[in-house]
Amino acid sequence: MRLIQNIGLVLLRAGIVLCQVRQPAISIDSAEIKSGTPLDGFLSYSIEFASFPDFAGNKSSPNKFSDNLLDNIGYLQGDKPYIRVGGNTQDYAIYNANLTVGLNGTVNVTRSPDYPTTIEIGPSFFESYSTWPNVKFSHGFNMGGNHDSRIQDTLTQTAELACKALGTDKLYVWEYGNEADLFATSAQGPVRASSYNESDYVNEWLDGVAVIKSVFRKNCPGLASIDTYKYMAPSFGGVANHLKAPIAWAAGLDNTENIKYFSSHNYISGAATPGVTLQGTLMNHTRTRLSVEAHVDEYNAVHPGEDVPHIMGEANSLYNQGRPGLSNAFGAALWGVDFALYCAALGIRRVHMHMGTDYRYASWQPIETPLASRGTKAPYYGNIAIAHLPLTGGDTEAAYAAYVGGSLKRVMIINMNAYNYTNTNTSSGGSSSMHAVDCGCDGSGGQSSPSPPPPRPARAYSFFVGGGTTTARVQRLYANGSDAITGITWDGWNYNYELDEGRPVRLANVTVGETVQVQNGTLNITVPDSQAVMVTLGVSDETLNRPARKRRT
Protein backbone atom coordinates (compact mmCIF):
# COMPACT_ATOMS: atom_id res chain seq x y z
CA MET A 1 0.00 0.00 0.00
CA ARG A 2 1.17 3.52 -0.70
CA LEU A 3 -0.15 6.93 0.21
CA ILE A 4 -1.19 9.37 -2.48
CA GLN A 5 1.11 12.35 -2.21
CA ASN A 6 0.06 15.90 -1.34
CA ILE A 7 -3.18 15.07 0.39
CA GLY A 8 -4.54 18.26 1.91
CA LEU A 9 -6.12 18.23 5.35
CA VAL A 10 -8.17 20.94 6.98
CA LEU A 11 -9.58 20.74 10.50
CA LEU A 12 -12.57 22.87 11.40
CA ARG A 13 -12.72 23.24 15.17
CA ALA A 14 -16.16 23.48 16.78
CA GLY A 15 -17.41 25.98 19.30
CA ILE A 16 -19.42 24.89 22.32
CA VAL A 17 -22.79 25.64 20.72
CA LEU A 18 -24.34 22.78 18.77
CA CYS A 19 -23.26 22.71 15.14
CA GLN A 20 -21.75 26.21 15.15
CA VAL A 21 -18.09 26.14 14.12
CA ARG A 22 -15.17 28.41 13.54
CA GLN A 23 -12.89 27.56 10.64
CA PRO A 24 -9.13 28.00 10.96
CA ALA A 25 -7.51 26.20 8.03
CA ILE A 26 -4.49 24.04 8.93
CA SER A 27 -2.34 22.41 6.25
CA ILE A 28 -0.85 18.97 6.92
CA ASP A 29 2.24 18.06 4.94
CA SER A 30 2.20 14.58 3.38
CA ALA A 31 5.49 13.79 5.15
CA GLU A 32 3.58 13.83 8.46
CA ILE A 33 1.28 11.02 7.33
CA LYS A 34 2.11 7.57 8.66
CA SER A 35 1.10 4.45 6.78
CA GLY A 36 1.07 0.70 7.17
CA THR A 37 -0.21 -2.41 5.39
CA PRO A 38 -2.18 -4.78 7.67
CA LEU A 39 -2.17 -8.54 7.37
CA ASP A 40 -5.39 -10.44 6.73
CA GLY A 41 -7.49 -10.77 9.86
CA PHE A 42 -6.01 -7.49 11.10
CA LEU A 43 -8.53 -7.23 13.95
CA SER A 44 -8.10 -10.48 15.82
CA TYR A 45 -8.50 -11.74 19.37
CA SER A 46 -6.45 -13.17 22.19
CA ILE A 47 -8.47 -15.34 24.57
CA GLU A 48 -7.32 -16.15 28.08
CA PHE A 49 -6.27 -19.81 28.14
CA ALA A 50 -8.49 -20.65 31.13
CA SER A 51 -11.47 -18.94 29.45
CA PHE A 52 -11.16 -20.59 26.05
CA PRO A 53 -13.63 -23.44 26.77
CA ASP A 54 -16.21 -20.80 27.82
CA PHE A 55 -15.74 -18.79 24.62
CA ALA A 56 -15.60 -21.73 22.21
CA GLY A 57 -17.58 -24.49 23.92
CA ASN A 58 -16.89 -28.08 22.89
CA LYS A 59 -18.04 -30.57 20.24
CA SER A 60 -21.31 -31.36 22.00
CA SER A 61 -22.07 -27.74 22.91
CA PRO A 62 -20.31 -25.21 20.68
CA ASN A 63 -20.66 -21.55 21.61
CA LYS A 64 -22.69 -20.29 18.66
CA PHE A 65 -22.93 -16.78 20.07
CA SER A 66 -19.15 -16.37 19.94
CA ASP A 67 -19.04 -17.79 16.44
CA ASN A 68 -21.73 -15.37 15.27
CA LEU A 69 -19.66 -12.45 16.52
CA LEU A 70 -16.55 -13.79 14.80
CA ASP A 71 -18.55 -14.22 11.60
CA ASN A 72 -19.62 -10.57 11.76
CA ILE A 73 -16.01 -9.36 11.97
CA GLY A 74 -14.94 -11.82 9.28
CA TYR A 75 -17.56 -10.58 6.87
CA LEU A 76 -16.60 -6.95 7.38
CA GLN A 77 -12.82 -7.40 7.07
CA GLY A 78 -12.71 -10.36 4.71
CA ASP A 79 -11.22 -12.91 7.14
CA LYS A 80 -12.42 -14.21 10.47
CA PRO A 81 -10.22 -13.10 13.35
CA TYR A 82 -7.15 -15.18 14.15
CA ILE A 83 -7.45 -16.51 17.69
CA ARG A 84 -4.54 -16.61 20.10
CA VAL A 85 -5.24 -18.94 23.03
CA GLY A 86 -2.88 -17.85 25.79
CA GLY A 87 -2.27 -15.28 28.48
CA ASN A 88 -1.14 -15.67 32.06
CA THR A 89 -3.09 -18.89 32.58
CA GLN A 90 -1.29 -20.77 29.79
CA ASP A 91 1.70 -20.83 32.15
CA TYR A 92 -0.42 -22.33 34.95
CA ALA A 93 -2.01 -25.13 32.90
CA ILE A 94 -0.89 -28.67 33.85
CA TYR A 95 -2.11 -31.66 31.87
CA ASN A 96 -4.11 -34.43 33.57
CA ALA A 97 -5.02 -37.27 31.21
CA ASN A 98 -7.71 -38.50 33.62
CA LEU A 99 -9.58 -35.21 33.89
CA THR A 100 -13.15 -35.66 32.67
CA VAL A 101 -13.74 -31.95 31.96
CA GLY A 102 -11.79 -29.66 29.67
CA LEU A 103 -10.40 -27.46 32.43
CA ASN A 104 -10.50 -27.42 36.21
CA GLY A 105 -9.26 -24.24 37.84
CA THR A 106 -8.98 -22.88 41.37
CA VAL A 107 -9.10 -19.15 42.01
CA ASN A 108 -6.81 -17.83 44.73
CA VAL A 109 -7.93 -14.24 45.30
CA THR A 110 -4.61 -13.34 46.88
CA ARG A 111 -2.96 -14.08 43.51
CA SER A 112 -5.74 -13.01 41.14
CA PRO A 113 -9.49 -12.58 41.70
CA ASP A 114 -10.21 -12.79 37.96
CA TYR A 115 -8.81 -16.13 36.82
CA PRO A 116 -7.63 -19.43 38.30
CA THR A 117 -3.96 -19.75 39.16
CA THR A 118 -4.04 -23.51 39.79
CA ILE A 119 -5.20 -25.22 36.61
CA GLU A 120 -5.46 -28.71 35.17
CA ILE A 121 -6.59 -29.38 31.62
CA GLY A 122 -7.82 -32.68 30.24
CA PRO A 123 -8.11 -34.21 26.76
CA SER A 124 -11.45 -32.51 26.07
CA PHE A 125 -9.86 -29.05 26.37
CA PHE A 126 -8.64 -29.54 22.81
CA GLU A 127 -12.19 -30.11 21.52
CA SER A 128 -12.68 -26.37 21.76
CA TYR A 129 -10.45 -25.93 18.71
CA SER A 130 -13.09 -27.68 16.57
CA THR A 131 -16.11 -25.45 17.27
CA TRP A 132 -15.45 -22.36 15.09
CA PRO A 133 -15.35 -22.97 11.32
CA ASN A 134 -12.74 -21.14 9.25
CA VAL A 135 -10.75 -19.89 12.24
CA LYS A 136 -7.00 -20.31 12.70
CA PHE A 137 -5.56 -20.60 16.21
CA SER A 138 -2.32 -20.25 18.09
CA HIS A 139 -1.92 -22.50 21.11
CA GLY A 140 0.09 -21.32 24.09
CA PHE A 141 2.38 -23.89 25.73
CA ASN A 142 3.25 -23.65 29.42
CA MET A 143 6.77 -22.34 29.94
CA GLY A 144 6.41 -20.72 33.38
CA GLY A 145 5.58 -24.02 35.09
CA ASN A 146 3.92 -22.53 38.18
CA HIS A 147 6.35 -24.50 40.40
CA ASP A 148 4.69 -27.79 39.33
CA SER A 149 6.90 -30.86 38.85
CA ARG A 150 4.69 -32.10 35.97
CA ILE A 151 5.76 -29.28 33.65
CA GLN A 152 7.95 -31.37 31.31
CA ASP A 153 5.35 -34.13 30.96
CA THR A 154 2.75 -31.45 30.32
CA LEU A 155 4.82 -29.98 27.50
CA THR A 156 5.22 -33.26 25.64
CA GLN A 157 1.65 -34.44 26.23
CA THR A 158 -0.02 -31.18 25.22
CA ALA A 159 2.25 -30.80 22.19
CA GLU A 160 0.88 -34.05 20.81
CA LEU A 161 -2.73 -33.15 21.55
CA ALA A 162 -2.42 -29.61 20.21
CA CYS A 163 -0.80 -30.58 16.93
CA LYS A 164 -3.46 -33.24 16.30
CA ALA A 165 -6.27 -30.83 17.20
CA LEU A 166 -5.07 -28.03 14.93
CA GLY A 167 -3.33 -29.67 12.01
CA THR A 168 -2.39 -27.52 9.06
CA ASP A 169 -5.93 -26.26 8.45
CA LYS A 170 -6.51 -24.62 11.84
CA LEU A 171 -2.95 -23.63 12.75
CA TYR A 172 -1.97 -19.98 12.99
CA VAL A 173 1.36 -20.25 14.85
CA TRP A 174 2.57 -21.62 18.20
CA GLU A 175 3.51 -19.74 21.35
CA TYR A 176 5.80 -20.91 24.15
CA GLY A 177 5.47 -18.88 27.32
CA ASN A 178 3.52 -15.73 28.08
CA GLU A 179 5.28 -12.57 29.26
CA ALA A 180 8.48 -14.23 30.38
CA ASP A 181 9.84 -10.74 31.05
CA LEU A 182 7.65 -10.84 34.19
CA PHE A 183 8.52 -14.38 35.33
CA ALA A 184 10.82 -13.05 38.07
CA THR A 185 8.58 -10.15 39.13
CA SER A 186 4.98 -11.22 38.51
CA ALA A 187 2.30 -9.76 40.79
CA GLN A 188 0.64 -13.19 40.71
CA GLY A 189 3.80 -14.75 42.16
CA PRO A 190 7.30 -15.05 40.64
CA VAL A 191 8.13 -18.31 38.89
CA ARG A 192 11.83 -17.60 38.34
CA ALA A 193 14.64 -16.29 40.53
CA SER A 194 15.39 -12.58 40.62
CA SER A 195 18.67 -13.32 38.80
CA TYR A 196 16.78 -14.67 35.74
CA ASN A 197 18.12 -12.83 32.69
CA GLU A 198 17.72 -12.73 28.92
CA SER A 199 20.30 -15.46 28.31
CA ASP A 200 18.53 -17.76 30.78
CA TYR A 201 15.26 -17.11 29.00
CA VAL A 202 16.69 -17.71 25.53
CA ASN A 203 18.34 -21.00 26.54
CA GLU A 204 15.12 -22.20 28.14
CA TRP A 205 13.05 -21.11 25.15
CA LEU A 206 15.31 -22.84 22.63
CA ASP A 207 15.29 -26.06 24.67
CA GLY A 208 11.50 -26.01 24.95
CA VAL A 209 10.74 -25.39 21.30
CA ALA A 210 13.17 -28.19 20.40
CA VAL A 211 11.19 -30.58 22.63
CA ILE A 212 7.93 -29.51 21.00
CA LYS A 213 9.37 -30.01 17.53
CA SER A 214 10.54 -33.52 18.42
CA VAL A 215 6.98 -34.39 19.49
CA PHE A 216 5.63 -33.00 16.21
CA ARG A 217 8.10 -35.05 14.15
CA LYS A 218 6.75 -38.20 15.75
CA ASN A 219 3.04 -37.37 15.87
CA CYS A 220 2.39 -34.59 13.33
CA PRO A 221 5.28 -34.62 10.84
CA GLY A 222 3.50 -32.20 8.53
CA LEU A 223 3.80 -29.52 11.24
CA ALA A 224 7.53 -30.02 11.83
CA SER A 225 8.81 -28.64 8.53
CA ILE A 226 10.69 -25.39 8.17
CA ASP A 227 7.57 -23.79 6.65
CA THR A 228 5.03 -24.91 9.27
CA TYR A 229 6.97 -24.94 12.54
CA LYS A 230 6.59 -21.26 13.46
CA TYR A 231 6.03 -19.16 16.61
CA MET A 232 4.96 -15.75 17.78
CA ALA A 233 7.56 -14.40 20.24
CA PRO A 234 8.83 -13.05 22.55
CA SER A 235 5.34 -12.12 23.82
CA PHE A 236 6.79 -9.79 26.44
CA GLY A 237 4.46 -7.77 28.65
CA GLY A 238 6.08 -4.40 28.03
CA VAL A 239 9.16 -2.51 26.93
CA ALA A 240 10.58 -1.73 30.38
CA ASN A 241 10.21 -4.94 32.41
CA HIS A 242 12.78 -7.32 33.92
CA LEU A 243 13.78 -8.72 30.52
CA LYS A 244 14.24 -6.65 27.36
CA ALA A 245 13.32 -7.93 23.91
CA PRO A 246 16.34 -6.45 22.05
CA ILE A 247 18.74 -8.14 24.49
CA ALA A 248 16.86 -11.46 24.21
CA TRP A 249 16.98 -11.25 20.42
CA ALA A 250 20.69 -10.47 20.48
CA ALA A 251 21.18 -13.49 22.77
CA GLY A 252 19.90 -15.78 20.00
CA LEU A 253 16.14 -16.08 20.48
CA ASP A 254 15.64 -16.62 16.75
CA ASN A 255 18.78 -18.65 16.11
CA THR A 256 16.67 -21.49 14.71
CA GLU A 257 14.67 -19.05 12.54
CA ASN A 258 11.29 -20.32 13.66
CA ILE A 259 9.79 -16.99 14.81
CA LYS A 260 7.16 -15.90 12.29
CA TYR A 261 5.83 -12.85 14.14
CA PHE A 262 7.48 -10.47 16.58
CA SER A 263 4.74 -10.29 19.23
CA SER A 264 4.33 -7.35 21.62
CA HIS A 265 1.80 -6.93 24.45
CA ASN A 266 0.30 -3.55 25.21
CA TYR A 267 -2.04 -1.98 27.76
CA ILE A 268 -2.47 1.78 27.97
CA SER A 269 -2.58 1.77 31.78
CA GLY A 270 -3.72 -0.31 34.75
CA ALA A 271 -7.19 -0.89 36.15
CA ALA A 272 -6.04 0.12 39.64
CA THR A 273 -3.74 2.93 38.55
CA PRO A 274 -4.70 6.20 40.31
CA GLY A 275 -6.09 8.92 38.09
CA VAL A 276 -7.25 6.67 35.24
CA THR A 277 -10.25 8.19 33.42
CA LEU A 278 -12.02 7.81 30.10
CA GLN A 279 -11.02 11.25 28.80
CA GLY A 280 -7.54 11.44 30.28
CA THR A 281 -6.44 7.86 29.63
CA LEU A 282 -8.46 6.03 26.97
CA MET A 283 -10.05 8.82 24.96
CA ASN A 284 -6.65 10.43 24.68
CA HIS A 285 -4.86 10.03 21.37
CA THR A 286 -1.54 11.26 22.76
CA ARG A 287 -1.50 8.49 25.40
CA THR A 288 -2.27 5.91 22.74
CA ARG A 289 0.30 7.31 20.34
CA LEU A 290 3.13 7.28 22.89
CA SER A 291 2.24 3.79 24.10
CA VAL A 292 2.19 2.28 20.61
CA GLU A 293 5.29 4.12 19.45
CA ALA A 294 7.32 2.68 22.34
CA HIS A 295 6.67 -0.81 20.94
CA VAL A 296 7.53 0.28 17.42
CA ASP A 297 10.82 1.70 18.70
CA GLU A 298 11.54 -1.62 20.41
CA TYR A 299 10.78 -3.57 17.24
CA ASN A 300 13.02 -1.28 15.22
CA ALA A 301 15.81 -1.79 17.76
CA VAL A 302 15.48 -5.57 17.35
CA HIS A 303 15.14 -5.20 13.58
CA PRO A 304 14.09 -8.80 12.90
CA GLY A 305 13.54 -8.08 9.21
CA GLU A 306 10.56 -7.98 6.86
CA ASP A 307 10.11 -11.74 7.15
CA VAL A 308 9.16 -11.30 10.84
CA PRO A 309 6.37 -8.71 10.89
CA HIS A 310 5.31 -6.90 14.05
CA ILE A 311 1.98 -7.85 15.68
CA MET A 312 0.24 -7.03 18.93
CA GLY A 313 -0.21 -10.56 20.23
CA GLU A 314 -2.13 -9.26 23.25
CA ALA A 315 -3.59 -5.83 23.87
CA ASN A 316 -6.44 -4.04 25.57
CA SER A 317 -7.30 -0.93 27.52
CA LEU A 318 -6.36 -1.41 31.21
CA TYR A 319 -4.33 -4.37 32.48
CA ASN A 320 -5.72 -6.47 35.33
CA GLN A 321 -8.81 -7.11 33.20
CA GLY A 322 -10.09 -3.55 33.06
CA ARG A 323 -12.15 -1.28 35.28
CA PRO A 324 -15.98 -1.21 35.38
CA GLY A 325 -17.41 1.98 33.93
CA LEU A 326 -14.27 2.58 31.87
CA SER A 327 -13.20 -0.55 29.99
CA ASN A 328 -16.77 -1.64 29.27
CA ALA A 329 -18.01 1.85 28.26
CA PHE A 330 -18.48 3.29 24.80
CA GLY A 331 -15.42 5.48 25.32
CA ALA A 332 -13.36 2.27 25.38
CA ALA A 333 -14.85 1.35 21.99
CA LEU A 334 -13.65 4.68 20.62
CA TRP A 335 -10.24 4.03 22.20
CA GLY A 336 -10.15 0.61 20.53
CA VAL A 337 -10.73 2.13 17.10
CA ASP A 338 -7.98 4.69 17.61
CA PHE A 339 -5.56 2.13 19.07
CA ALA A 340 -6.03 -0.47 16.33
CA LEU A 341 -5.81 2.04 13.51
CA TYR A 342 -2.75 3.75 14.92
CA CYS A 343 -1.09 0.35 15.23
CA ALA A 344 -1.89 -0.29 11.56
CA ALA A 345 -0.61 3.11 10.54
CA LEU A 346 2.75 2.45 12.23
CA GLY A 347 3.22 -0.93 10.60
CA ILE A 348 1.91 -3.23 13.36
CA ARG A 349 0.23 -5.65 11.06
CA ARG A 350 -2.24 -7.54 13.24
CA VAL A 351 -3.82 -6.68 16.60
CA HIS A 352 -5.16 -9.33 18.99
CA MET A 353 -7.56 -7.75 21.49
CA HIS A 354 -7.39 -9.78 24.69
CA MET A 355 -10.41 -10.98 26.66
CA GLY A 356 -11.55 -13.57 29.16
CA THR A 357 -14.64 -14.65 31.04
CA ASP A 358 -15.89 -11.83 33.34
CA TYR A 359 -13.14 -9.49 32.11
CA ARG A 360 -14.30 -5.88 32.19
CA TYR A 361 -12.55 -5.01 28.91
CA ALA A 362 -13.80 -8.04 26.96
CA SER A 363 -15.57 -7.55 23.66
CA TRP A 364 -18.23 -10.01 24.75
CA GLN A 365 -19.18 -12.19 27.72
CA PRO A 366 -19.50 -15.74 26.33
CA ILE A 367 -21.56 -17.40 29.09
CA GLU A 368 -23.72 -16.59 32.09
CA THR A 369 -21.82 -16.37 35.38
CA PRO A 370 -22.67 -14.98 38.83
CA LEU A 371 -20.59 -11.90 37.90
CA ALA A 372 -21.78 -11.11 34.38
CA SER A 373 -24.55 -11.83 31.90
CA ARG A 374 -23.83 -13.28 28.50
CA GLY A 375 -23.85 -10.50 25.95
CA THR A 376 -22.11 -8.19 23.49
CA LYS A 377 -20.15 -5.41 25.16
CA ALA A 378 -19.21 -1.92 24.08
CA PRO A 379 -15.65 -2.69 22.87
CA TYR A 380 -17.02 -5.09 20.24
CA TYR A 381 -18.39 -2.15 18.30
CA GLY A 382 -14.94 -0.77 17.53
CA ASN A 383 -14.01 -1.26 13.86
CA ILE A 384 -11.28 -0.96 11.30
CA ALA A 385 -9.57 1.47 8.93
CA ILE A 386 -5.91 1.86 7.90
CA ALA A 387 -3.55 4.82 7.53
CA HIS A 388 -3.10 7.62 10.04
CA LEU A 389 -3.76 11.29 9.25
CA PRO A 390 -2.77 13.39 12.31
CA LEU A 391 -5.30 16.09 13.22
CA THR A 392 -4.59 19.23 15.17
CA GLY A 393 -7.13 18.27 17.82
CA GLY A 394 -4.29 16.84 19.91
CA ASP A 395 -5.34 14.35 22.58
CA THR A 396 -8.98 14.00 21.63
CA GLU A 397 -9.20 13.69 17.84
CA ALA A 398 -7.71 11.40 15.21
CA ALA A 399 -8.40 10.52 11.60
CA TYR A 400 -7.38 7.60 9.42
CA ALA A 401 -7.57 6.95 5.70
CA ALA A 402 -7.80 3.61 3.89
CA TYR A 403 -6.29 3.25 0.42
CA VAL A 404 -7.25 0.55 -2.07
CA GLY A 405 -5.02 0.15 -5.09
CA GLY A 406 -3.36 3.46 -4.30
CA SER A 407 -6.65 5.38 -4.29
CA LEU A 408 -8.29 6.92 -1.24
CA LYS A 409 -11.35 4.82 -0.39
CA ARG A 410 -12.38 5.53 3.22
CA VAL A 411 -11.80 8.11 5.92
CA MET A 412 -12.42 7.42 9.62
CA ILE A 413 -12.74 10.37 12.01
CA ILE A 414 -12.73 9.68 15.76
CA ASN A 415 -13.98 12.46 18.04
CA MET A 416 -12.83 11.43 21.51
CA ASN A 417 -14.02 14.53 23.33
CA ALA A 418 -16.06 13.08 26.18
CA TYR A 419 -19.82 13.50 26.34
CA ASN A 420 -20.83 11.96 29.65
CA TYR A 421 -24.55 11.46 29.29
CA THR A 422 -25.16 10.05 32.79
CA ASN A 423 -23.98 13.36 34.22
CA THR A 424 -26.12 15.45 31.89
CA ASN A 425 -29.50 14.25 33.19
CA THR A 426 -30.18 11.98 30.26
CA SER A 427 -31.49 8.47 30.76
CA SER A 428 -29.96 5.26 29.50
CA GLY A 429 -32.90 3.14 28.42
CA GLY A 430 -33.01 1.60 24.98
CA SER A 431 -30.93 2.30 21.93
CA SER A 432 -29.98 5.82 20.98
CA SER A 433 -31.52 7.77 18.11
CA MET A 434 -29.50 9.61 15.48
CA HIS A 435 -30.86 11.96 12.83
CA ALA A 436 -28.72 13.00 9.90
CA VAL A 437 -30.66 16.23 9.49
CA ASP A 438 -29.38 17.63 12.79
CA CYS A 439 -25.84 16.21 12.44
CA GLY A 440 -26.64 13.25 14.71
CA CYS A 441 -25.84 15.61 17.57
CA ASP A 442 -28.81 15.36 19.91
CA GLY A 443 -27.54 12.47 22.06
CA SER A 444 -31.00 12.05 23.52
CA GLY A 445 -31.68 8.40 22.79
CA GLY A 446 -33.72 6.20 25.06
CA GLN A 447 -36.54 7.32 27.33
CA SER A 448 -37.30 11.00 27.77
CA SER A 449 -35.78 12.71 30.80
CA PRO A 450 -37.44 15.16 33.18
CA SER A 451 -35.38 18.03 31.80
CA PRO A 452 -33.50 18.21 28.52
CA PRO A 453 -29.76 17.63 28.57
CA PRO A 454 -27.38 20.31 27.32
CA PRO A 455 -26.68 20.12 23.59
CA ARG A 456 -24.13 17.54 22.57
CA PRO A 457 -21.21 19.46 21.05
CA ALA A 458 -20.21 18.61 17.49
CA ARG A 459 -17.10 19.37 15.51
CA ALA A 460 -16.87 19.94 11.78
CA TYR A 461 -14.06 18.52 9.68
CA SER A 462 -13.06 19.25 6.11
CA PHE A 463 -10.71 17.13 4.01
CA PHE A 464 -9.44 17.69 0.50
CA VAL A 465 -9.78 14.21 -0.98
CA GLY A 466 -9.68 15.03 -4.68
CA GLY A 467 -11.86 13.52 -7.36
CA GLY A 468 -14.16 16.41 -8.09
CA THR A 469 -17.80 15.99 -7.01
CA THR A 470 -19.16 12.63 -5.87
CA THR A 471 -21.36 10.97 -3.26
CA ALA A 472 -19.89 9.56 -0.05
CA ARG A 473 -21.51 7.13 2.35
CA VAL A 474 -21.55 7.95 6.08
CA GLN A 475 -21.58 5.26 8.80
CA ARG A 476 -21.52 6.16 12.48
CA LEU A 477 -20.31 4.32 15.57
CA TYR A 478 -22.85 5.68 18.01
CA ALA A 479 -24.03 5.62 21.62
CA ASN A 480 -25.71 8.05 24.01
CA GLY A 481 -22.32 9.11 25.33
CA SER A 482 -18.80 8.00 26.12
CA ASP A 483 -19.92 6.40 29.41
CA ALA A 484 -22.70 4.31 27.80
CA ILE A 485 -22.40 0.56 28.18
CA THR A 486 -25.56 -0.33 26.20
CA GLY A 487 -27.50 1.10 23.29
CA ILE A 488 -24.52 1.05 20.92
CA THR A 489 -24.80 0.73 17.16
CA TRP A 490 -22.57 0.61 14.12
CA ASP A 491 -24.39 2.09 11.10
CA GLY A 492 -27.67 1.21 12.81
CA TRP A 493 -26.66 -2.42 13.29
CA ASN A 494 -26.80 -3.96 16.74
CA TYR A 495 -25.01 -7.19 17.66
CA ASN A 496 -26.48 -7.85 21.10
CA TYR A 497 -27.00 -11.40 22.28
CA GLU A 498 -30.57 -10.62 23.32
CA LEU A 499 -31.70 -9.70 19.80
CA ASP A 500 -30.40 -12.58 17.67
CA GLU A 501 -27.48 -14.26 19.49
CA GLY A 502 -25.02 -11.68 18.21
CA ARG A 503 -26.11 -11.77 14.57
CA PRO A 504 -26.62 -8.30 13.08
CA VAL A 505 -30.01 -6.68 13.64
CA ARG A 506 -30.88 -3.33 12.02
CA LEU A 507 -32.59 -1.06 14.55
CA ALA A 508 -35.61 0.85 13.30
CA ASN A 509 -35.03 3.92 15.49
CA VAL A 510 -31.60 4.79 14.09
CA THR A 511 -31.34 6.84 10.90
CA VAL A 512 -29.15 5.15 8.30
CA GLY A 513 -28.35 5.64 4.64
CA GLU A 514 -26.73 9.01 5.34
CA THR A 515 -24.67 10.49 2.51
CA VAL A 516 -22.64 13.64 1.94
CA GLN A 517 -21.54 15.29 -1.26
CA VAL A 518 -17.85 15.67 -1.95
CA GLN A 519 -17.83 18.99 -3.78
CA ASN A 520 -14.85 20.10 -5.84
CA GLY A 521 -12.78 17.40 -4.13
CA THR A 522 -13.59 18.57 -0.58
CA LEU A 523 -15.35 16.42 2.02
CA ASN A 524 -17.16 18.20 4.88
CA ILE A 525 -18.49 16.12 7.78
CA THR A 526 -19.75 16.90 11.28
CA VAL A 527 -19.03 14.50 14.15
CA PRO A 528 -20.60 14.83 17.60
CA ASP A 529 -18.40 14.43 20.67
CA SER A 530 -17.86 10.78 21.59
CA GLN A 531 -18.56 9.40 18.15
CA ALA A 532 -16.62 7.89 15.27
CA VAL A 533 -17.60 8.24 11.63
CA MET A 534 -16.57 6.23 8.58
CA VAL A 535 -16.91 7.98 5.21
CA THR A 536 -16.67 5.80 2.09
CA LEU A 537 -15.98 7.66 -1.13
CA GLY A 538 -17.55 7.04 -4.51
CA VAL A 539 -20.47 4.83 -3.46
CA SER A 540 -23.50 3.91 -5.51
CA ASP A 541 -27.10 3.80 -4.35
CA GLU A 542 -27.00 -0.01 -4.39
CA THR A 543 -24.33 -0.15 -1.68
CA LEU A 544 -25.97 2.18 0.84
CA ASN A 545 -27.87 -0.58 2.67
CA ARG A 546 -25.34 -3.38 2.32
CA PRO A 547 -25.97 -5.90 5.13
CA ALA A 548 -23.63 -6.14 8.10
CA ARG A 549 -22.83 -9.67 6.95
CA LYS A 550 -24.45 -12.46 5.02
CA ARG A 551 -26.53 -14.79 7.13
CA ARG A 552 -25.64 -18.44 7.13
CA THR A 553 -28.28 -20.82 5.87
List the catalytic residues.
198, 314
Alpha helices of 149-244 — where are they, by DSSP H?
151-170, 198-219
Q: Taking a C-beta distance cutoff of 8 angstroms, is the pair 493, 381 a contact?
A: no
3-state secondary structure 152-172: HHHHHHHHHHHHHHHHHHHEE
Instruction: Report the C-alpha gap between 418 and 284 in whole angstroms.
Output: 10
> What is the DSSP code string of 110-151?
TT-SSS-SEEEE-GGGGGGGGSSTT--EEEEEP-SGGG-TTH
Instruction: Report the C-alpha gap between 482 and 330 in whole angstroms.
Output: 5
Q: Taking a C-beta distance cutoff of 8 angstroms, is the pair 55, 357 a contact?
A: yes
Instruction: Report the C-alpha gap between 321 and 359 in whole angstroms.
Output: 5
Helix (H, G, I), strand (E, B) or coil at 187: coil
Cis geometry, peptide bond prior to residue 234 (ω within 30 degrees of 0): yes
User: Is the Cα dihedral 166, 167, 169, 171 positive or negative?
Assistant: positive
> What is the DSSP code string of 51-94?
GHHHHHB-SSSB-HHHHHHHHHHHHHHSSPPPEEEESGGGGTEE
* Best CA proximity match to 173, nearest among 263, 274, 68, 76: 263
Helix (H, G, I), strand (E, B) or coil at 462: strand
